[in-house]
Amino acid sequence: MTAIQIGYARCSKDKQDLTVQQEALAKLGVSPDRIYTDRGLTGSNRQRPGLDQALAAVRRGDTLVVPKLDRLARSVPDARDIADALQARGVKLALGASLYDPEDPVGKMFFNVLATFAEFEGDLIRLRTREGMAIARAKGKLRGKQPKLSEKQQKELCRMHETGQYSISDLAELFSVSRPTVYRTLSRNHKE
C-alpha cells in the first residue's frame, strides 16, 4: 500500500479565504482532492468536521500535512493529543515542510514550543477582543444583539396574530424569521 499525504486547512471566520493554505499544501505535494477544510471554526474548538474527516482519511504510513501548527490546534494539550493519536496509529505529521518526529527530543521540544506559541496567540486574540468590546460598550457602541424585526414589523406581526388567521409558522415565513423569534416577539409585546 502506498503512503499518501492528507492535507488540512482551517480558518476561523466564514468569509476568510483558504486559498493560501490550500496552495501551500499543494506545493508540499498534497493532492487537492485530499485536502480537508474547516471554515468558521477556531482551533480551540475540537469539534471540526474537516479535521475529523482528515483524521479518518489517514492510514498507517500516511502523513497528515498542515501549513502551520496553529491551523491544527490552538492549545498545547489539544496539539499533543492529536500528535500522540497520529503517532499511535503510525501516521506522520508534517508542519509545513518539516516532518514532526516524536522520537527526536529536539523535534518534540520544538513541537511543544510551537504549540505553546499557538496557544499564546489564541489567548492574545481573545484578550484583544474582550478589551475592544469593553471599550465599545463604554462608548455605547456595543448594545448587544439587535432585534430581528423593527418596531413597526413587531406591531404588525402582533396585529396579524391577533386576527387568528395566521399560525406561528405562517408569521415566521411571512416575516422571514424563525418561529422562536415570532414567539419572543409575541411574548414581549404581550407583556407591554
Name the least confident of 84-88, 89-93, 139-143, 183-187. 139-143
**Per-residue confidence band for 14, with pLDDT thresholds at 50, 70 and 90:** confident
Give me the active site residues, please.
12
Residue-wise pLDDT for 35-73, tens only, equals 999 988 777 777 889 999 999 999 999 999 999 998 999
Average pLDDT, the chain: 89
Say what the pLDDT of residue 120 is.
93
Name the least confident of 158-162, 170-174, 188-192. 188-192
Beta carbons within 8 Å of 72's beta carbon, 6+ residues apart: 8, 10, 43, 51, 66, 79, 82, 95
Say what the pLDDT of residue 110 is.
86
Residue-wise pLDDT for 69-122, tens only, equals 989 998 899 999 999 999 999 999 999 988 888 888 888 888 889 999 989 998
Tell me the three state secondary structure of residue 11: strand
| pTM summary value | 0.66
Query: What's the order of all strands across the beta sheet hosting 5-11?
Result: 35-39, 5-11, 63-66, 92-95, 98-100
Say what the pLDDT of residue 43 is.
72
Say what the pLDDT of residue 1 is.
62
Say what the pLDDT of residue 142 is.
76
> What would the mean pLDDT of 17-32 be, rounded to a whole number?
94
What is the per-residue DSSP string for 65-118? EESSHHHH-SSHHHHHHHHHHHHHTT-EEEETTEEE-TTSHHHHHHHHHHHHHH
Cα distances (Å, whole numbers) of residue 87 to 92, 112, 119, 157: 7, 15, 21, 58
% of the chain with per-residue pLDDT over 70: 98
Is it the case that residue 191 has pLDDT exceeding 90? Answer: no
Say what the pLDDT of residue 94 is.
94
Residue with cell 418561529: 179
- In CATH terms, the fold of domain 5-122 is Rossmann fold (3.40.50)
